[in-house]
A and B are shown apart, each in its own frame.
Chain A
Amino acid sequence: MKLLTLLSLFVTYLVTDCINIENTAGQFFSSGHTNNWAVLVCTSRFWFNYRHVANSLSVYRSVKRLGIPDSHIVLMLADDMACNHRNPKPATVFSHKNMELNVYGDDVEVDYRGYEVTVENFLRVLTGRLPPSTPRSKRLLSDDRSNILIYLTGHGGNGFLKFQDSEEISNVELADAFEQMWQKRRYNELLFIIDTCQGASMYERFYSPNIMALASSQVGEDSLSHQPDLAIGVHLMDRYTFYLLEFLEDIHPASKANMNDLFKVCPKSQCVSTPGHRTDLFQRDPGSVLITDFFGSVRKVEITTEVVNLTDPIEQVDESPANGEAREEMYSYVDQLPVSEIIHQKPKQKDWHPPDGFILGLWTLILLVFFKTYGVKHLKHIF
């Protein structure tokens, strides 16, 4: 009896193995990305900007809970609220009033702290142009299969975001930084979330492909803060990120919630400002993009002993376009090196030479002076 069950189990095992694993291998590459990164930046200092630090830390907490490890998160906090002298509860940063949720925790890893959070450092992290002595924890080591979540919060205006109360980053700079990232193949897809006043102006100038952007308010609107805590004495969170945090608390690593749900977070009734989003640069339909594609680090794992032949192109299991429209043109990477030139060894470009007229004129003058000085009688010796 026992032998029969064992035998039947063995046969089932064999049968399932016989199903060609290559047919299902396409599922593993359907999302296009193989790793996730997050860059979370809080740009304000001073105690009364407590809520911006709490914003960043709550997003940090969520992405960490959903699976992105600290080595893949670059957390930049412009000021230290947890250890601020005015914090009545040191080593804590709360997001809900009555101190319900401590987003600081005891395993926070802040990569850029205090005065290290500058526009220059932020752009260098994004583009990867850091000095060789920068440690790995401070680098964004993404590749062309990385999905990156970038979250910015602080004080902003129409077209700029203020850093440290002393400098600004403009939307043009940010767009150019993302273009650099695209050209250097530093991301597969990028989700950009910004929670500042007039935040929509920051994503207006993006022109690189595969970027989806969300903002907490439109141009001309202010993003408002949520609720103060009377014991701590400052506002604890901004409205948009508060409701974003509530939304993300319901997401777990296996969740199938997609971006359309994210766009519905914090409607005008709750946020007072109108959140905006931009998807025209994004190739996939937002409805097919999972929240965990950006906020989590989800891997599809299936153990098999079969060998998958990767030399043939894997057919992707992707859905047809939603409305059957013609597909948009494929974006491609620009040529980084003039490979064709190098391979074919084009001849070196010629160096500069002085024009012949100049040389002629100069030497004629020199000869004239020579003959004037030493007499024309030398001429007959030459000719």
Chain B
Amino acid sequence: MVAPLSLLLIVAVTIRAALYRSSLAELIAERVEVVSPITAWKRVIEGLALLDLGVSPYSGDVFHETPLIIYLFHFLVDYAEITFMLADVITAVALYMAVKDFNKQVFRKQKFSVEAERYPADCLELIRSPTEMFYIPLKVAMFYLLNPFTILSCVAKSTCGLNNAVLSLFILTTIKGNVLLSAIFLCLATYQSIYPLTLCAPAMLYLMQHQYVPVNPRRAAFWWFLVQYLFMYLGSLFVIVCLSFFLLGSWDFLPSVYGFILSVPDLTPNIGLFWYFFAEMFEHFRLFFLCVFQINVFFYTVPLCIKLKDQPVFLMFMQLAVISIFKSYPTVGDTALYLAFLPVWSHLHRFLRNIFLVSCVLLACSALFPVLWHLWIYAGSANSNFYYAITLLFNVAQILLVSDYFYAFLRREHHLTAGLYLKKKDGSEATLVLK
């Protein structure tokens, strides 16, 4: 499978290089859907220029990246395009390897269950075969690399690509079962934007199952593993934050990076939900709604963990989706990461109910974003409500997509235990409802 993967990588790199050389690069770099105040390349260059002039880049509201990004781009600013292409390649390869390993484990578990005859007789058609699972890793890599969202994000040189690379490396190391590396990559991802904190829970669940630690709060081994992982995670976070202090010699970066992400002072329109709401809000209620919106991101972790504690990888997918939808400055690059996972759940397609609606809405919204932006900002014949409506619709479609996959997943699990053709007590066909 190396050859098709290499071919895919070459094709992806060619597309990106071609777009870099064309005049579209500046156009794309300005689009608010692709870059946000946290990830814009223009701000990275501005911060580095300020540093050359002897001013801290965190003074003022320009630069909101972490000091490690300063360090990275101080030496790589001339090779920025190669860096971002490399980040995309790393993400794709990491996802490829992760999904391959995951598929092996899924298949092995399935084999054990079949041999143990845990599945009812009529759901044989739900059982997956290696042939259908063979091309899934390649499809995942393809979904990521050839996704227009990713290409736009890479051409705009948005640091979201780097964030995606770190997250995918985290997923790879988690699935491979390496506790230390998983904690370290999660710490790096959290260090860059706070929201991957919620991925702590699925990672811990997965690693515990990988090491055959029973996921039972009453057992001591559970708590011991929790403490170990959290110690590694928080310890490396502490070390990275202290190291960042030594880069510039000041703690300025804490309010500039984390304060900015949490308190959302910049209300530039983007594809998220924060800007419109906070633009029209009275100062009196701002703190309250800020807390509500931020808690919304972290809130789904615990219920999802309880429901999906046996399938932590699906939980990771759902958490990634929740982060991408509800974070304070989302861009299409974040969406692209969790969309890359869809081929992994391709066996669920027979249970998906809204897939046509969702795909139509996503396509239409993606096309309408630049149109309504132009009408609002340049032509002046629309106003912010139009753009916000499309944003809202885009997010609703994403939520519908994720909840649809959730429903399909749970339904398949239910069928695997209760049989495919369900009958009510009186023998007529039963319907399943997701409560």
Contacts and interface: CB of A to CB of B under 8 A. Distances in A.
A358 B71 contact: yes
Given A352-B51, A357-B246, A358-B247, A369 B239 contact: no
Contacts of A365: 239, 243
B243 A352 contact: no
Contacts of B86: none
A354 B247 contact: yes
A185 B181 CA distance: 66
Contact of B71 (A357, A362, A372): A362
Nearest to A351: B52
Interface in B66-92: 68, 70-71, 74
A373 B180 contact: yes
Interface string A355-377: 10111011001000100110000
Contact of B246 (A353, A358, A373): A358
A373 B181 contact: yes
Contacts of A373: 178, 180-181
A351 B51 CA distance: 8
A362 B247 CA distance: 10
Nearest to A359: B71
B380 interface: no
Nearest to A365: B239
Nearest to A369: B184
B52 A352 contact: yes
A361 B178 contact: no
Interface centre among B70, B178, B246 (most CB of A within 10 A): B246
Interface string B246-262: 11010000000000000
Contacts of A357: 246
A124 to B, nearest CB: 26
Main secondary structure of the interface of A (DSSP, over half): helix
Interface in B43-82: 51-52, 54, 68, 70-71, 74
Interface in A3-21: none
Nearest to B184: A369
B243 A358 contact: yes
Interface in B180-204: 180-181, 184
Contacts of B71: 354, 358-359, 362
A362 B240 CA distance: 9
Interface string B299-343: 000000000000000000000000000000000000000000000
Interface in A61-83: none
Contacts of A353: 74
Nearest to B75: A354
Contacts of B54: 349, 352
Contact of A372 (B52, B70, B180): B180
Contacts of B243: 358, 361-362, 365
Interface in A313-359: 349, 351-355, 357-359
Nearest to B70: A354
B52 A355 contact: no
Nearest to A362: B243
A44 B239 CA distance: 65
B181 A354 contact: no
Contacts of B239: 365
A372 B236 CA distance: 14
A298 B207 CA distance: 94
A362 B249 CA distance: 15
Contacts of A362: 68, 71, 243
Contacts of B246: 355, 357-358, 361
25 contacts: A349-B54, A352-B51, A352-B54, A353-B74, A354-B70, A354-B71, A354-B74, A354-B247, A355-B247, A357-B246, A358-B243, A358-B247, A359-B71, A361-B243, A361-B246, A362-B68, A362-B71, A362-B243, A365-B243, A369-B180, A369-B181, A372-B180, A373-B178, A373-B180, A373-B181
Interface of B: 51-52, 54, 68, 70-71, 74, 178, 180-181, 184, 239, 243, 246-247, 249
